[in-house]
Chains A and B, each alone.
Chain A
Amino acid sequence: GIQVEQSPPDLILQEGANSTLRCNFSDSVNNLQWFHQNPWGQLINLFYIPSGTKQNGRLSATTVATERYSLLYISSSQTTDSGVYFCAVGPTGFQKLVFGTGTRLLVSP
């Protein structure tokens, strides 16, 4: 089946710093979503981005489907950005999502 790799596995930032999270996947996809899981376990939809670039406030994402990767950018990080960021992909022809193992982000004041 499709493999999803996220990097880095862990990231520690000072408040105000910028960061880039990466998601590589091993096969063609028709769905790609970025989620933020907060300390209470809630999965927050950040982006639905099977291709192209989107921005939402301090967050933006880019997916290059032909090269099988996606990037999530966090600018001017805040302590509330802490948590785990997951990339999940939907293999072409399937409705299900396959999740990466996540990037754990800690933003310190």
Chain B
Amino acid sequence: DGGITQSPKYLFRKEGQNVTLSCEQNLNHDAMYWYRQDPGQGLRLIYYSQIVNDFQKGDIAEGYSVSREKKESFPLTVTSAQKNPTAFYLCASTITLGQAQPQHFGDGTRLSIL
């Protein structure tokens, strides 16, 4: 079954620690995205990548970093510079760049501060 897999489902971070959230897709999609959702809010775009080895900042990129070394994978690192990291993080992908196509989402990772 094709889809987007995010891991872990729950993650706890200590103060001053970097943590990495995994996102893998086997849909052969070109573009991948990371969104953040705070309680009672909609999703906001952190970073996106349209092709391997290329990515762009979204609306709230400060305190986050990404890499896109493989088409299937788009990990997100929440750095210690992100002062309010507690949130629900969702990864998405879409089939092709340059054309409007629906985005498909993983099941998310909940990050909390210890």
Interface residues of A (CB under 8 A from B): 1, 4, 30-31, 33, 35, 40-43, 45, 48, 50, 86, 88, 90, 95-102
Judge if B71 is at the interface, Cβ distance under 8 Å: no
Given A42-B107, A42-B108, A43-B90, the answer on whether A31 and B42 have CB atoms closer than 8 Å is no
Within 8 A of A (CB), among B49-103: 50, 58-59, 88, 90, 92, 94, 97, 100-103
Looking across the interface, which residue of chain A has its beta carbon closest to that of B33?
A96
Given A31-B101, A45-B102, the answer on whether A95 and B94 have CB atoms closer than 8 Å is yes
6 nearest CB pairs, A to B: A99-B42, A48-B102, A30-B100, A31-B100, A43-B105, A99-B43
Interface residues of B (CB under 8 A from A): 31, 33, 35, 37, 40-45, 48, 50, 58-59, 88, 90, 92, 94, 97, 100-105, 107-108, 110
**Cβ–Cβ < 8 Å partners of A50 in chain B:** 100
**Cβ–Cβ < 8 Å partners of B107 in chain A:** 40-42
Given A95-B31, A95-B97, A96-B33, the answer on whether A31 and B102 have CB atoms closer than 8 Å is yes
CA distance A101 to B41 in the complex (A): 5
CA distance A50 to B58 in the complex (A): 22
Q: Is the CB of B44 within 8 A of A99?
A: yes
Q: Is the CB of B104 within 8 A of A45?
A: yes
How many Å from the CB of B93 to the closest CB on chain A?
A: 11
Q: Give the most central of B37, B102, B108, B110: most A CB within 10 Å.
A: B102
CA distance A31 to B31 in the complex (A): 15
Q: Is the CB of A41 within 8 A of B104?
A: no
**Cβ–Cβ < 8 Å partners of B58 in chain A:** 96
Given A30-B100, A96-B58, the answer on whether A86 and B43 have CB atoms closer than 8 Å is yes
How many Å from the CB of A97 to the closest CB on chain B?
A: 6
Q: Which of A41, A99, A101 contacts B108 (CB 8 A)?
A: A41
